[in-house]
Amino acid sequence: MPSAVIITGPGFQDHDVVYTYYRLLEEGWSVDIATKNGSDVTGKYGIPLPMDKTARPLISFEQLNAPGYDAVILTGGHEAPDRVRQDSNVLDFVRAMDAAGKVVAGLCHGPWIMVSAGVLKGRRACAYIGLRDDVINAGADVVDSDVIVDGHIITCSYYAYVGRFMQQVFETVAKQQAVAAV
């Protein structure tokens, strides 16, 4: 069973977290949600984390461990990623996922965390208009697109494209698992 962690914080884009979380579960993935200190947080439009009584407890940034995951989903809502990217545990984890060739996927403002982790240099990416300059200054070749896949790095420019974004996450991890099985 593939596994993913969604990393977020207070003021997250509710659509991003809700959709990615339930799509991962629907596909049979094991899913964790990580927040600072594993604390409950609330989204921009009032969605609480954890979302429901069946959800696993939130984990802390200190518990992030690259060997335990096939993918990391970095969600948007400008407030949450800006706070999250200031945490060295998250940045170290994202760098470790990148170094291991595992899927690092940023949605809307989520790539801000990728910028701060330094994993976009020399990559092809798309970017929400509000962080386009940051992604360019991080050394990425920014393309005007809904979703871009560059190896194991996946970016999505806006939450309205989250369906295509998740499809690319599933396809990229499936390809990696098929190669590993050979």
Catalytic residues: 109
The token pair that represents 50 in the structure block: 């954890």
Task: Pick left, alpha or beta for residue 108 (phi over 0 → left; psi -120 to 50 → alpha; otherwise beta).
Answer: left
**For 63, which DSSP code?**
G
Tell me the Cα Rg of the chain.
15
C-alpha distance across the termini of the chain, in Å: 17
